[in-house]
Amino acid sequence: MAAGYNTISMGSGRSEFHPRKPRPDLEDYMKEAGQKVLEQIGGAEHVDECMVANFIASRYNKQANLAAFFPYIDQGLAYKPCIRVEGACATGGLGLVTGIRSVLAETADVVLVVGVEVQNSVKAVYGADILAAAGYYKERKQGHAHFFPGKFSDRAGAYFSKYGREKTRQAMAMWYRNAIENARLCPTAQEFENKTGELEELAFTEPNPKMFVDHLNVYDCSKVSDGASAIAILSEEGLKRCGIQKKDVVEITGMGQAEYDLTQPPKDPVSLDTTRVAVKKALDMAGITIDDLATVECHDCFTIAAILAVEAMGFAETGKGPDFILQGNTSRNGKIPFNTTGGLIGWGHPTGATGVHQAVTIWEQLTKRAGGAQIKIPRNKPYGLSVNMGGDDKTLVSLVYKKT
């Protein structure tokens, strides 16, 4: 992978955002991200196939058939095969693995992947109904008004009951602080301009079940975001065609994809079992362990999801995730820096773009393009890992990236 690009993650928190003023639309974000990648690979003539990752524009924007926007990005993409994929919040990751499989199948040497979502088109309460389609929608009437916050609030409540509330809330608050501090180092992040002083104190705001959900506050949640991310997936021949040097790319050495029955509740509310399976597949394919990783991009749609993900990946035993986080291990200067540009909570969560944004972030880190958000990549740990989750641990994509 090479030539990544992120648009601004637009939404509340950005000075450019105003709910009553015109803002970029789907095609605008796709065009910006797509053109910036094309500039880096020498033009549209080098592209063999295109993938667009989008969750649910047909409801948010009343627009389907997104694959046909690629010639709008550049006329040089006209008549080239384009595919649109969907897998809830893991849509971006599915776009990446679909592009990877095209290269492995030798039907393409250069694939342009664009992930995009525009969600600030409706009020939050209506957005909650749209996002409920990432789960089993037949549960909607019995579920919480804020459907997915309700799902992960239930997980948080179960975790509190089993392992204790105080330390878990402390870890959730630290995760929020780290997310915002990392986002402040990334100009495209939704929370880039966040100047709040006492972040952990803010994160300790007591949940209000009458206004929101039982066990989470709004700071525990990822953002409603608009934006796009794009990256090129290339074979060895594709690198030569585009004139890209290996020092400017990351090699994909492991890929894990897993699904679980959408109609069924979690086997165990304090465990992300599908995440565990997907990560193991990716690490096994790459022939490495978590001790070889320099950085991780995980799907922190909620702070409790981050704790569960840390445990599912194997960094801590079940019930010990809060300790691992509170020891500073996941901070940008810690043992294994997570979400170095803010993750879903700090950078934002334009749903279909998130998995692609994770790939762009790791590509930037491993090739030293991350600017003010750059972390140190140890010579003996040239790997990064991304984990992109769709629904309540139902659709999972995990990738291992290697610095070349």
Pairing of strands 49-53, 82-85: parallel
Domain locations along the chain: 2-122+224-247, 140-221+250-403
The pLDDT of residue 299: 98
Considering the domain 2-122+224-247 in this protein, what is its CATH number?
3.40.47.10
What is the token pair recorded at 341? Answer: 């540009």
pLDDT of residue 402: 98
Residue 232, token pair as written in the block: 């090129």
Average pLDDT over every residue of 391-403: 98
What the block records as the tokens of 338 is 């997570």
pLDDT at 86: 98
Q: State yes or no: pLDDT of 302 exceeds 90.
A: yes
Task: Evaluate if residue 256 carries a pLDDT over 90.
Answer: yes
| For residue 295, pLDDT beyond 90 | yes
What span, in angstroms and rounded, lies between the C-alpha atoms of 6 and 363? 12
CATH number belonging to the domain at 140-221+250-403, selected among 1.20.950.20, 3.40.1640.10, 3.40.47.10, 3.40.1210.10: 3.40.47.10
Give the side-chain half-sphere CA count within 13 A for 50.
Answer: 32
Question: Of 202, 229, 236, 259, which Cα lies nearest the Cα of 347?
Answer: 229
Average pLDDT of the residues of the chain: 97
Sign of torsion over alpha carbons 219, 221, 227, 229 = positive
Tell me the C-alpha to C-alpha distance, in Å, between residue 224 and each of 12, 157, 361.
8, 23, 20
pLDDT for 143: 82
Contacts of 159 (CB under 8 A, 6+ apart): 168, 269, 270, 304, 307, 308
- Among residues of the chain, what percentage have pLDDT more than 70? 100
Q: Which residues contact 316 (CB under 8 A, 6 or more apart)?
A: 310, 323, 324
Strand-pairing partners, residue 403, are: 250
pLDDT tens, position by position, 332-372: 999 999 999 999 999 999 999 999 999 999 999 999 999 99
pTM of model > 0.95: yes
**DSSP state at residue 222:** P
DSSP one-letter string for 114-136: EEEEE-TTS-HHHHHHHHGGGS-
Categorize the per-residue pLDDT at 142 as very low, low, confident or very high, splitting at 50, 70 and 90. confident
pLDDT digits 0-9 by tens, 93-115: 999 999 999 999 999 999 999 99
- Cα separation of 220 and 188, whole Å? 21
Task: State how far the Cα of 123 lies from the Cα of 101, in Å rounded to an integer.
Answer: 37
Identical fold for domains 2-122+224-247 and 140-221+250-403, yes or no, is yes
DSSP 296-322: EE---SBHHHHHHHHHHHTSS-TT-HH
Adjacency order of strands within the sheet including 250-259: 250-259, 395-403, 383-390, 293-297
Structure tokens at 167: 């330390």
| DSSP-assigned beta bridge partners for residue 128 | none
pLDDT tens string 4-17? 999 999 999 999 99
Residue 321 CA, chain-centre distance (Å), reads 20
31 within 8 A of 73, measured Cβ to Cβ: yes
Contact 390, 248 (CB under 8 A): no
